[in-house]
Structure 1
Amino acid sequence: MLHSFSYVTDHLGFCGTIKNSPGDFVVTEIEVPEHSLRDSRPDSLPKTPEAPSERSSWCLQQPKRRRADPPARPASRDCRRAVPSPPEADPSQAGGHCFTSLNKNQTRSSQEANVLDSLLGKPVTELLSKFASELKDAWNSGNNCDTSTSEFSLGPIPEKKNRADLHSAIKQEFPFLVTVTKDSEMIVKGNADYRELCQLVTEKEANDFFKFLDAKLENSTFSFEPDGSKEHRKVVHHFISRKFGRLLETKSFAVTNVSDQPNMSIMVRFREKNWSRKRPTGGLQENEDLYTAFTLQKENLETLEAIGFLASELGVLASDFSYTGIKDKKAITYQRMVVKKVTPERLKEIGSRMEKKGMRIHNIHSACQHLRLGQLKGNHFDIVVRDLKHHSHDSSADLKERICEAMEKVEMFPGCFGLEKPSRSLKTKGFANYYGPQRFGQGQNVQTDQIGLALLNEKMVEAVKLFFTPEDTDDPVNKAKRYFLQTEDAKGTLTMLPEFKVREKMMLRALNRYGVNHEGCTKGWLSIPHSMRIFYVHAYCSKIWNEAASYRLKTYGSKVVEGDLVFSEENNENSSLNDKVHIVTASEESANKYSIHQVVLPMVGHSIKYPSNKVGQWYHERLSKDDLQMCKFRVSPLQLNIPGCYRPILKNVQNLSYFLEGSEKGIRIEDNHLNESKVSLHMSFDLDPSCYATVCLREIMKCDF
């Protein structure tokens, strides 16, 4: 897949074979420092933004901000109760909605006001408070004139993070207000739903209900005051169902008051997530927030295939596993993983059975949260290249000199096999940061980027058939795939597939239920975890990036030219990612202000900018060939949203060392001349996250794998 792509260096290179056996290619994750992980908190708690140095460097992108992580909402968290069972509700808590303490309300108001002051400044905060007060007065007086259209502008708030912080602070300080954004301008107006609820319950209950709603804390509940009128309770139930039915559910339950008189109260709670209905039985509810971390050693297995084996053995979903990156199949790899709802003891029990599948589980211990893609410092590689020889067009007799020259071109080295110190003119050039062939399913009849393109074009049936395209073998998996394409018999195919083929089985169950048509195939894709769906789309985006990088290097070489995108640290740390990506001007090109190592290219998406030179035009034409536009990259039926990011065009190898070994293992070669095929090259080096060792080797050896 990289055959026609550009190289960065101009040396001749040499030939050899890699991955003769899994032991010839060993990959070990370089972990984020332990103290950084120890400071992490569960998802339900606020997190401090990661330092830039610890952010995923595989692609320059803004960390996602979860809606449930507002910056300053401690008091609203403190007053939440765990979900009680209605029959066992504490009588003393009848009408026990939160925020019942005046002191807590006062404390929270002070905190939210401080947040508003810091984001808006005191003058604007005071104007906002005046607007809120006048709106409430108008409501209370029954004066409907202009209250439905009355608005207050906070002005342009360009930073998305600041808008999210403002939204949370305003909702907590003024639950009867809502915020809307128009081209980065934030506008505040009255909440019609709040006003309608105030016609049914007390103002205090309405306040507390909307604060509960805004907090969106999983497993939290809210109870209205006891209500003896069945008809009135019915109206409240209907209001919540009509306005918030997709998010909330309600139930009436019996309570007793201080006089031991029975009464009824309405409890509100958030609906369970869709995946919770698929939870296996067996008392795992109490383990919902349990995380167990471990190091997975696997051999000759894909990461997702290994997860399939583990999920099947443990009786959990494949989506309950998290990891920092996909590792090579034809290799021995060591990577961190975290599994949800499984105890360390349970994981230890399956260790011996997993060894039969080519896996070993090490370093099992409790963890406080899942892992995220890119949450690592990089990968360390120990690689053996065998069958060394010259390229057919190379007439040199000295193979060792060719090897030494190749290493020097990639990393400055103090000396090589006893040769003199390299010339200072040999600059570190690194290698083109292409995605490796394993990203696309190397050697498969259908590559992952083809499925990704079909999904982006919402060709659901075509994507499913590509997904089930078999390889040219007669093993049970490929027999089952072949049978499905011939018959579209999802139920029959299910019985033919092994248990560890988790993704395929999820898909087939949905197809059996809904049919092999557009709607059924859409449901089929929705049945597999989001991370797996988006994996295919990212593969397509990676393919486009590779082609763009090759075009950029062929067109402009290593010179930084007008219209290039460069990543600059000069901007404020809190700036948005697009603000940190700068378009090179003509004067900056003339002054050689930037180096090629600062040049980035966009991974296609709907929210990134493109180069303003020939490369930007290339992107437009290339996407048009696939019936896509630069702004597309949202697939609503599959809940896929691809904003895009930026990837450095070049990368450097770090901590490179190497030696030659003779045909008798353990004997290093020190002679200046080598006999072809009689020796192997042992290499050790580190790469940043999402850099591919096969791509680095391609640059060193000048051959494709």
Structure 2
Amino acid sequence: MVIKMDYPYLTSDIPGIGGVIKTEPEDFIVEEIPLYQPSGAGEHIYAFIEKRNLNTQEMITRLSQHLGIKARDIGVAGNKDRRGITRQMVSLWRADPARVENLNVPQLRVLWVKRHKNKLHRGHLAGNRFEIRIRQINPDAAKIVPQVLEKLNKIGVPNYFGIQRFGIHNDNAAAGKALLLQQWEDFFHIVLGNPGSSQIQSGQTGEQRAGDNHAAILRARQLFEEGKLAEAVELWPPDYSFPKSLLRRLIEFKGGYHNTIATMPAAMKNFYLNAYQSHLFNETLRLRMPAINEVWVGDLAYLHRNGAVFKVEQAETEQTRVDSSEISPSGPIWGSTMITPEGKEWELEEKVVSEEGFTVEELRARFKTAGLKGERRPFRIFLTDVDYEFVEDSLLLRFTLPRGVYATIVLRELMKTDNL
């Protein structure tokens, strides 16, 4: 299963502006909007950190190494992509505040430090503020951009999970499905081997998209397939801590897949299982796209102000709330206790599950074994604080999104490309 973002555009009737992103780190800037501010007292050090061309896991690895604390004692509110500049909150349990303030680590800069009583957990953020430059845009972009933004403002942005959710090799969802099915050997070959099999629409392999590390990663995957695990460990770059850790565990258990899986931290397993949940949601949204701004009888409507969900009994009555952007229809983040809709929406969700080779009962049972309860996710979201300007042949775009929403989904509507 290789994920391709070939989902329908909401603005398919409007041409794209083309262009490229992330030519320079400064072309893609993300700043977290904290859910709360640290109190100033407690044993957790909260640091607002700027990172350049590092993903969140790579940042955690470097902080752990340089501050002498365990990775599990480092908390973050959300995962951020490698390419670009990100400013995000990090909590560090019992770290030396002076060492944190004076941290001298390549690609990291501490902006401020303050104490708090609790660890920072995933989801503890209000949203993200983006500043993105799209270079080499089409000459008629000045006419296109306002049309696209107007339609997104009126109908909403399709709330797809972005391609980065599925990994640079585009197969995180396949790995998650293998875990769910307890197909241990398949899981290891997907994550550590299978060199060059994943292609995105641009024709690039995942390793090519990994930048300067692609040759080493490709060779490491080849060595795994040849059974040369010790050599493969050495070739994975230092910042790729998960595959290195997984390989070391596999060597320790003498190639025993089941025993290696049993010792994996829950967060590692959930990383892949969540990618498969995201795939199921995206496939459902693909089917619902013509009606993301409509509610049907039996829908589970999502209340944007607080995340509450309720079943729609009278579609005509609730449609006025949809039109005012107060509520939206929701789709499945599958799990053992996720509430389900009725009517036409339920038919769509059952169709996706069936096409994946499951019954609803089996899927619930497998997610129960995996310990994931599930939830509902709105099919659309809304941009706020939108601002843009044209500078020579580029568009400088600023906007705010709720947590868990991917800026690349906005960009694909503007650019009409999936190579993001």
TM-score norm. by structure 2 comes to 0.84
2:299 corresponds to which letter in structure 1? D
Q: Which has the higher contact order (CA 8 A, sep 6+)?
A: 2
Equivalent pair of 1:410/1:700 in contact (CA under 8 Å): no
Task: Specify the alignment match of 2:383 in structure 1.
Answer: 653
Equivalent pair of 2:19/2:137 in contact (CA under 8 Å): yes
Question: In the TM superposition, what is the alpha-carbon distance from 1:380 to its structure 2 partner?
Answer: 0.7
Equivalent pair of 1:386/1:680 in contact (CA under 8 Å): yes
Task: Specify the alignment match of 1:546 in structure 2.
Answer: 282
1:431 corresponds to which letter in structure 2? V
| Distance across 2 between alignment mates of 1:389 and 1:636 | 46
Question: In the TM superposition, what is the alpha-carbon distance from 1:474 to its structure 2 partner?
Answer: 5.9
Task: Specify the alignment match of 1:588 in structure 2.
Answer: 315
Q: Which of 340, 348, 358 is 1:628 aligned to?
A: 358
| Distance across 1 between alignment mates of 2:367 and 2:296 | 37
Q: Which of 332, 349, 353 is 1:619 aligned to?
A: 349
* Matching of residues 295-306 of structure 1 within 5 Å: 295-306=48-59
Equivalent pair of 2:101/2:112 in contact (CA under 8 Å): no
1:539 corresponds to which letter in structure 2? A
| Distance across 2 between alignment mates of 1:553 and 1:311 | 43
Instruction: Go from structure 1 to structure 2 and tell me whether the alpha carbon gap of 1:636 and 1:18 turns closer, same or farther (over 3 Å shift).
Output: closer
1:509 corresponds to which letter in structure 2? R
Task: Specify the alignment match of 1:532 in structure 2.
Answer: 268
Instruction: Go from structure 1 to structure 2 and tell me whether the alpha carbon gap of 1:347 and 1:629 turns closer, same or farther (over 3 Å shift).
Output: farther
Equivalent pair of 1:446/1:466 in contact (CA under 8 Å): no
Q: Which of 435, 444, 453 is 2:161 aligned to?
A: 435
| Distance across 2 between alignment mates of 1:378 and 1:569 | 13
Instruction: Go from structure 1 to structure 2 and tell me whether the alpha carbon gap of 1:436 and 1:317 turns closer, same or farther (over 3 Å shift).
Output: same
* Matching of residues 169-188 of structure 1 within 5 Å: none
Deviates more, 1:334-343 or 1:448-457: 334-343
The answer as to 2:294 corresponding to 1:559 is yes
| Distance across 2 between alignment mates of 1:359 and 1:507 | 26
| Distance across 2 between alignment mates of 1:633 and 1:517 | 28
1:333 corresponds to which letter in structure 2? T
The answer as to 2:360 corresponding to 1:359 is no
Gaps of 5+ in 1: 43-289, 391-397, 412-427, 663-678
* Matching of residues 178-257 of structure 1 within 5 Å: none
Q: Which of 20, 23, 28 is 2:26 aligned to?
A: 23
Instruction: Go from structure 1 to structure 2 and tell me whether the alpha carbon gap of 1:374 and 1:591 turns closer, same or farther (over 3 Å shift).
Output: closer
* Matching of residues 255-270 of structure 1 within 5 Å: none
| Distance across 1 between alignment mates of 2:122 and 2:76 | 6
Question: In the TM superposition, what is the alpha-carbon distance from 1:655 to its structure 2 partner?
Answer: 0.7
TM-superposition CA deviations, 1:615-663 (whole Å, max 9, x none): 32232232233343434356699x731111111111111011111112x
| Distance across 1 between alignment mates of 2:116 and 2:7 | 45
Specify the SS of the correspondent of 1:508. Answer: helix
Larger Rg: 1
Specify the SS of the correspondent of 1:387. Answer: coil
Equivalent pair of 2:294/2:328 in contact (CA under 8 Å): no
The answer as to 2:247 corresponding to 1:512 is no
2:225 corresponds to which letter in structure 1? L
Q: Which of 397, 403, 406 is 1:683 aligned to?
A: 397
Q: Which of 205, 214, 225 is 1:485 aligned to?
A: 225
Specify the SS of the correspondent of 1:15. Answer: coil
Instruction: Go from structure 1 to structure 2 and tell me whether the alpha carbon gap of 1:606 and 1:682 turns closer, same or farther (over 3 Å shift).
Output: same
Question: In the TM superposition, what is the alpha-carbon distance from 1:4 to its structure 2 partner?
Answer: 3.0
Equivalent pair of 1:458/1:635 in contact (CA under 8 Å): no
Specify the SS of the correspondent of 1:38. Answer: coil
2:25 corresponds to which letter in structure 1? P
| Distance across 2 between alignment mates of 1:372 and 1:8 | 36
Instruction: Go from structure 1 to structure 2 and tell me whether the alpha carbon gap of 1:474 and 1:405 turns closer, same or farther (over 3 Å shift).
Output: closer
| Distance across 2 between alignment mates of 1:591 and 1:650 | 16
Gaps of 5+ in 2: 196-206
2:309 corresponds to which letter in structure 1? V
Specify the SS of the correspondent of 2:119. Answer: coil
Task: Specify the alignment match of 2:98 in structure 1.
Answer: 345
Question: In the TM superposition, what is the alpha-carbon distance from 1:551 to its structure 2 partner?
Answer: 0.5
The answer as to 2:410 corresponding to 1:696 is yes
Instruction: Go from structure 1 to structure 2 and tell me whether the alpha carbon gap of 1:476 and 1:485 turns closer, same or farther (over 3 Å shift).
Output: same
Question: In the TM superposition, what is the alpha-carbon distance from 1:348 to its structure 2 partner?
Answer: 4.1
TM-superposition CA deviations, 1:93-132 (whole Å, max 9, x none): xxxxxxxxxxxxxxxxxxxxxxxxxxxxxxxxxxxxxxxx
| Distance across 1 between alignment mates of 2:354 and 2:87 | 40
| Distance across 2 between alignment mates of 1:291 and 1:384 | 36
Q: Which of 340, 354, 375 is 2:124 aligned to?
A: 375
Question: In the TM superposition, what is the alpha-carbon distance from 1:310 to its structure 2 partner?
Answer: 2.3
Instruction: Go from structure 1 to structure 2 and tell me whether the alpha carbon gap of 1:569 and 1:650 turns closer, same or farther (over 3 Å shift).
Output: closer
Equivalent pair of 2:11/2:151 in contact (CA under 8 Å): no
* Matching of residues 437-516 of structure 1 within 5 Å: 437-441=163-167, 444-469=168-193, 470=195, 471=207, 475-487=215-227, 489-516=228-255
Equivalent pair of 1:633/1:642 in contact (CA under 8 Å): no
Instruction: Go from structure 1 to structure 2 and tell me whether the alpha carbon gap of 1:322 and 1:549 turns closer, same or farther (over 3 Å shift).
Output: same
| Distance across 1 between alignment mates of 2:47 and 2:150 | 38
Instruction: Go from structure 1 to structure 2 and tell me whether the alpha carbon gap of 1:603 and 1:479 turns closer, same or farther (over 3 Å shift).
Output: same
| Distance across 1 between alignment mates of 2:95 and 2:215 | 32
TM-superposition CA deviations, 1:453-479 (whole Å, max 9, x none): 111111112112211135366644443
TM-score norm. by structure 1 comes to 0.52
| Distance across 2 between alignment mates of 1:503 and 1:454 | 17
Equivalent pair of 2:216/2:235 in contact (CA under 8 Å): yes
What is the aligned-residue identity percentage? 26
| Distance across 2 between alignment mates of 1:545 and 1:450 | 14
* Matching of residues 28-39 of structure 1 within 5 Å: 28-34=31-37, 37-38=38-39
Q: Please report the RMSD computed on the Cα atoms of aligned residues, expressed in angstroms.
A: 2.9
TM-superposition CA deviations, 1:320-359 (whole Å, max 9, x none): 221011112211111111122422233345x22x12xx22
Task: Specify the alignment match of 1:150 in structure 2.
Answer: none
Instruction: Go from structure 1 to structure 2 and tell me whether the alpha carbon gap of 1:633 and 1:645 turns closer, same or farther (over 3 Å shift).
Output: same
Instruction: Go from structure 1 to structure 2 and tell me whether the alpha carbon gap of 1:6 and 1:562 turns closer, same or farther (over 3 Å shift).
Output: farther
